[in-house]
Amino acid sequence: MENKNILFLSTSNDLSIMAEGWASKLDEPSLNFISASFRTVQENDLFIEAMKEVNIDITDREPKLLAPHLIKSADLIVNIYDFERDQQPPLLLASNKKVLRWNVPNPEHCADTTEKWAAYQIVCDQLAEHVKKLTNELN
């Protein structure tokens, strides 16, 4: 089977890197995963700590801004954002790529650090389920 390139996209890098972290733990040699974002934002470590709680270390993942070559090389694009609070991130409309949309709450909308921390823990679990379902569908 030919390898497939899966691109996780989010408004900022946190959600896409978390999804890539979960995907990297799966034994799926025919799937290549990469993450990117639509804009640069000030980083926080809460999403990294939430992933550490489930024994996934994403500290070495470099945040990437979306670039044309990432879209071109992707077989599938997974657009991760909060349907209620975030504007749908723009994609190249001319792209003929298959695009999935995952509705995941954006912890950045939380009022304080404690609330954000709890939200990242919930999002961590939600992304695990989304990634598992995706890989099952691709196999």
High-pLDDT (> 70) share of the chain, %: 92
Least confident of 66-75, 91-100, 113-122: 91-100
DSSP state of 65: B
b vs e for 42-62, b when ≥16 Cβ sit within 10 Å of the residue's Cβ? eebebbbebbeeeebebeebe
Please determine, for residue 16, whether its predicted confidence score (pLDDT) is greater than 70.
yes
Confidence of residue 63 (pLDDT cuts 50, 70, 90): confident
Domain made up of 9-138: CATH architecture: 3-Layer(aba) Sandwich (3.40)
31-37 average pLDDT score: 94
74-99 average pLDDT score: 81
Confidence of residue 94 (pLDDT cuts 50, 70, 90): very low
pTM of the model: 0.92
Starting at the earlier edge strand, list the strands of the sheet with 76-81. 31-37, 4-10, 76-81, 98-103
Quickly tell me which residue has 């799926």 as its tokens. Answer: 28
8 A C-beta contact, residue 46 and residue 106? no
Confidence of residue 42 (pLDDT cuts 50, 70, 90): low
Any idea where the domains of the chain sit in the sequence?
A: 9-138
Please determine, for residue 36, whether its predicted confidence score (pLDDT) is greater than 90.
yes
**DSSP secondary structure of 13-53:** HHHHHHHHHHHHTS--TTEEEEEEESS-----SHHHHHHHT
Confidence of residue 139 (pLDDT cuts 50, 70, 90): confident
8 A C-beta contact, residue 101 and residue 109? no
